[in-house]
Chain A
Amino acid sequence: MTPDDAPFALRLSNVSKTFGGLKALDAVDFAVRAGEVHCLAGENGCGKSTLIKIVTGVYTADPGAHIELFGQARDGITPSEARELGIAVIWQDLALFPHMTVAENIAFDGMVGNLPRLLSRGAARAEAQAMLDRLGVRLDLDTRLNTLPIAQRQLVAIARALMGAARLVFMDEPTASLTQSETDGLLKVVQTLSEQGVSVVFVSHRLAEVLEISTSVTVIRDGKLVGVYPTEGLTQARLGELMTGAILSSEVTAQDRSGAAPVLQVENLTRVGEFQDISLTIRRGEVVGLTGLIGAGRTELAHTLIGMTQPDAGHMTLNGQPLRPRNIRAAIAAGIAYVSEDRLSLGLIQPQSIADNTAISVLDRLLNGLGLIASSRKDRLVRTWIDQLSVKIGHPDDPVSTLSGGNQQRVVLSKWLATEPKLIILDSPTVGVDVGARAGIFRIVRRLADEGLAILLISDEVSEVLTNADRVLHMESGRLVNEIDPHATTVEELEAQVYA
C-alpha cells in the first residue's frame, strides 16, 4: 500500500476526445500515484481504452487537456516518448510472437532497438531471466510461446512490457481468459510490481479482483468521470452500481425443481484421463451449476455430452431416449446446444455477419422448395432472435466482431436457441462480458429455464454459479465430489472448498 502523499506518476485533467462528433471522453480527470495499483473501471465502450490510448500517445486529446507525467507538464505525447518515459501497455491481445521462445519474446525490443546492436543470445537470455526473477515467475526460457497456456503467455507479455524500465504499466483485462488460480498468480505479480515502485493501472471486468488488488478506483461511465473511490469500504455491488448506473441484484435465485421430469440423465460416465463415474440429472426448467478448477474435467465432460469426444464407459439419456452422439451434429439433432467457453474462436465466426452467425446452425430450416436458402426466411429468423434477446446491433450484415462481449454472447444464445434445444450447456458464458451485461445474460438464462429448458451452467466464478443455479455440483480431478444448495452455502464457503 502506498502512502497518499506519494508523488503522482500521472495526472490528467479535463481530457476530452471527440471522434467524428461523438464524445468518447468528456472532461475526464485521472491521476495515479507512484507505486499505486489503480483500477480503471467502466463498461465496454465507456472510454477506458481511449483514455489509455491518450496516455500512451496513440491518440491526441482534444485541446484544453492538462497532462502531467512524472511531475512534468506536457503539451502532448508521442508513442515513442511514452515508451522512453517508461509507460507500458499490455493489451488484451498480448501482441507476442507465437513461434519465438520465451526469452526471445521478452528480450525482443532490446534485440531490435533503434540502434542496431549485435544479437547476443546470451545477453538476451540473461536479461529475460533477470526480469522473470524480478517478477518471481518460473518459466522455461526456451519454450516456444505457442506451446504455453494463455496464463503464462500473459506473464511473458508483462515481462516484455517491463523490459524498458517501465514505471507506469497499463493492463487491459489481463485476467479475462485466466482461471481463478492463474489470476491469483497474476495478482501476486502485480503486487510485486507495486512494491518495487511501479504504478499499475488495472482494467478488469471482474469486480472481486479489482477490489482485492487495487488501492483506489476511477469509475468512468459513458465517457464521463463518475468519481475516484478508495477501495477500502467499496463492495462489488456498489462498484457495479457505479459502473452501470443501475442497481444490480446478487440475490440467490435458486428454486426447487426436483419434481420436474428429468431431461438429461448421466450414469457413471467415464472418459479415461478426463473424468470418471459422473452421474447427474438435469430436469426441465432446472439450472444446474458445475464449478471446479480448470483441469477438473468440466469442459471435457461437456465435450462428451455434445459428441465431440466419445465416452469409454457409462450411459446417457435425453428425455428418456438413449443418447450417444457421434458428433456435434447428432447432438444438435437430439436437442443439445453448447455455448463454448471460447467465444472468440469457437463460439462465433468473428469476421462474418451477425445474420450468418445467427442462422448457421439452422440452415436446413431456411431452405425453399428448390433447396436454396430463402433470404426472407433468414431475415425473419434473425430479426426474431435479435428482438427476443434484445441484441443491440447496427445492421444484421455487420461483422459480429463489432459487437460488445455481452451482445456477442446474446448472438451465441440466439444461434443455439434457434435450434430449439431441450438442454443447453453454458460453458463460462460471461467471460469478457460487462458487469451490467452479465446480469442481462442471466436474466435470459432464468427466463429460458422458466420456459422449460434444462440448463447446465459451467463456470469457475463461484459467486456467479451460486447466485444463478438451482443446484451446484463441484467437480474435482474428474469426479463430482459434492452437491451444494445455494440457499445453504455462502460464496466464501464454496470458494474455500473449490480452491482448497
Chain B
Amino acid sequence: MSAFDRLNARLGRETLPLLAFAVFVFAAFSLATPLFLTGRNLSSMAFQMPVLGLLTLAMMVPILSGGLNLAIIFQANLSGLTLAWVLIQFGGPEAGVGAFLLGCLAAIAVGATSGALMGAVVAYVGAHPILVSLAMMIFLRGLGEFLTRGGDISGFPEFLGVIGHGNVMGIPVPLLVFGLAALVWHIMLTRTRHGFSVYMIGSNIEASEYSGLHTKRTLMLIYTISGIICAVAGILMLTRFNSVRVGHGEALLLVTVLACFLGGVDPFGGFGRVLPVVLALVILQMLSSGLNLIGANQHLSTAVWGLFLIAVMALRWLGGRLRYGTGRD
C-alpha cells in the first residue's frame, strides 16, 4: 500500500477529492475577485458557516442511522425562544451572565426533550423517522408561532455579542464552537460504542439487535443528541442576530441534507464521516460568499449548489466505475 493509499484509507476516500475541490474553489474565487481573499470576507464566512455547520451535525447522525431529522430548524428556534424567555424574565437587556447560563441549560433541555420524544417514537413505536420528525417539526412550529404570535423577540444583554460576533485569539467564537462540536462528533462516531452502534443500525437494525447492540436505546440517544446540538445552534443564532423568530433559518433545512450528501454520507445510512462533511460545508460557504462577491444574483448561488451536488454524484459514479469496473462472479 502506498503512502497515498494509507492516507486515503485513514481519512476516508471522500476527503481528498473534496479537499482538492475546496482548494480549487478557493483559488478560483481568489483570482476572480480581489474581494475574496481579504480578512473581511474570510471572517464573514467564518461567522456565517457555524450555524449551518451545527445544524448539519444535527442532521448527520440521524441520516447515518438510516433516518432523518426534519425538525432541526424548529428545535433550534424553540430552544432559542426558551433562552430568550429566561433572559426576559431576568430583565431583558439587564440580564446577567448567570441568567444567560441558566437560559442555555433550559434551551438545551428543550432541544434534548424534543429529540428524546422523537427518538422514543422511532425506537419503540417503530414509526418512520421522516414521519415522526415531520410531526415534531409541525408541532414545534405551531407552538412557537402561537407563543410569539409570529413576531420577533429581541432586547437582549449586550455581552451576548461576545459570543455572536467576538474573537478569541483571532478566531471567531462561533467557529470555535463549531470546531469543538465537530471534534466531539468525530470522536463520538469513530471511538465510542454509541457511534459504532449508529453505523451498524444504519446498515441493518435487525442484525444489530441480534448481535446484542442496544438498538432502541441508541435510537433514543441519536435523536436526543441531535436535539442538543440544535439547541446550541439556536443559542448561537440568538447571539448572532440578537433576536429570535420562529422560522428563522428555515431555508437551511435542506442545505444541511445537501451538505451531508456532498460530504459522502450514504443516504441509506451506515456510512459517512465528519471530516468530509465539514469540507463540504466549507465549499458551500465559499461558493455562496464568492458568487455574492462577484456580483452574482443570490438565487444563482442556490442553483450552483444544486449543480455542485449533481456534479459530485456524477464524479462518484465515474470513480466507482473506474474502481469496480471489472469483477469476477
Contacts and interface: CB of A to CB of B under 8 A. Distances in A.
Given A345-B204, A367-B193, A373-B196, A20 B210 contact: no
B9 interface: yes
A122 to B, nearest CB: 36
A79 interface: no
B212 A329 contact: yes
A363 B204 contact: no
Interface stretch (B130-138, B174-182, B321-329): B321-329
B192 interface: yes
B298 to A, nearest CB: 40
Interface in A13-68: 19-20, 22, 24, 44-45, 47-50
B16 to A, nearest CB: 17
A50 B207 contact: no
Interface residues on B, range: 20 to 34
B128 interface: no
Contacts of A361: 211-212
Given A351-B203, A373-B191, A397-B9, A47 B211 contact: no
A364 B194 CA distance: 11
B326 A19 contact: yes
B158 interface: no
A328 B196 contact: no
B270 interface: yes
Nearest to B201: A349
B62 to A, nearest CB: 18
B329 A50 contact: yes
B74 to A, nearest CB: 33
B313 to A, nearest CB: 19
Contacts of A434: none
A340 B210 contact: yes
Given A45-B329, A356-B196, A329 B214 contact: yes
Contacts of B84: none
A349 B203 CA distance: 7
Given A352-B199, A356-B199, A372-B191, A22 B211 contact: no
A415 B210 CA distance: 12
Given A329-B214, A372-B191, A373-B191, A19 B328 contact: yes
A45 B207 contact: no
Interface residues on A, range: 35 or more
B301 interface: no
Given A328-B210, A361-B211, A373 B193 contact: yes
A246 to B, nearest CB: 21
A24 B329 contact: yes
Nearest to A371: B192
Contacts, number: 74
B307 interface: no
A90 interface: no
Interface string A413-439: 001000100000000000000000000
Contacts of B208: 349, 360
A348 B212 CA distance: 12
Interface string A343-362: 00111111110001000110
A391 B199 CA distance: 24
Nearest to B329: A49
Contact of B210 (A45, A347, A367, A373): A347
Contacts of B192: 371-373
Contact of B203 (A24, A45, A352): A352
B200 A360 contact: yes
Interface string B64-78: 000000000000000
B209 interface: yes
A198 interface: no
A362 to B, nearest CB: 9
B187 interface: yes
B211 A415 contact: yes
B206 interface: yes
A356 B328 contact: no
A338 B210 contact: yes
A415 B261 CA distance: 32
B213 interface: yes
Given A367-B193, A373-B192, A20 B326 contact: yes
A323 to B, nearest CB: 16
Q: Pick from A328, A345, A352 the residue with the most CB of B within 10 Å.
A: A352
Contacts of B9: 397
A22 B211 CA distance: 37
Interface string B116-146: 0000000000000000000000000000000
Interface in A384-429: 397, 415, 419
Nearest to A344: B207
Q: Pick from B193, B213, B328 the residue with the most CB of A within 10 Å.
A: B328
A349 B187 CA distance: 22
A347 B208 CA distance: 9
Interface in B193-231: 193, 196, 199-200, 203-204, 206-214
A-B complex: 9 closest residue pairs judged by Cβ atoms: A372-B191, A49-B329, A360-B211, A349-B204, A24-B328, A332-B212, A349-B203, A346-B210, A361-B212
Given A345-B204, A360-B200, A373-B192, 17 more contacts: A19-B326, A44-B329, A332-B212, A340-B210, A347-B210, A348-B207, A349-B200, A349-B204, A349-B211, A351-B204, A352-B199, A352-B203, A352-B270, A360-B213, A364-B193, A373-B193, A373-B196
12 contacts: A24-B329, A45-B328, A50-B328, A329-B214, A348-B207, A349-B203, A349-B204, A349-B207, A350-B203, A350-B204, A372-B187, A397-B9
Interface of B: 9, 187, 191-193, 196, 199-200, 203-204, 206-214, 270-271, 326-329
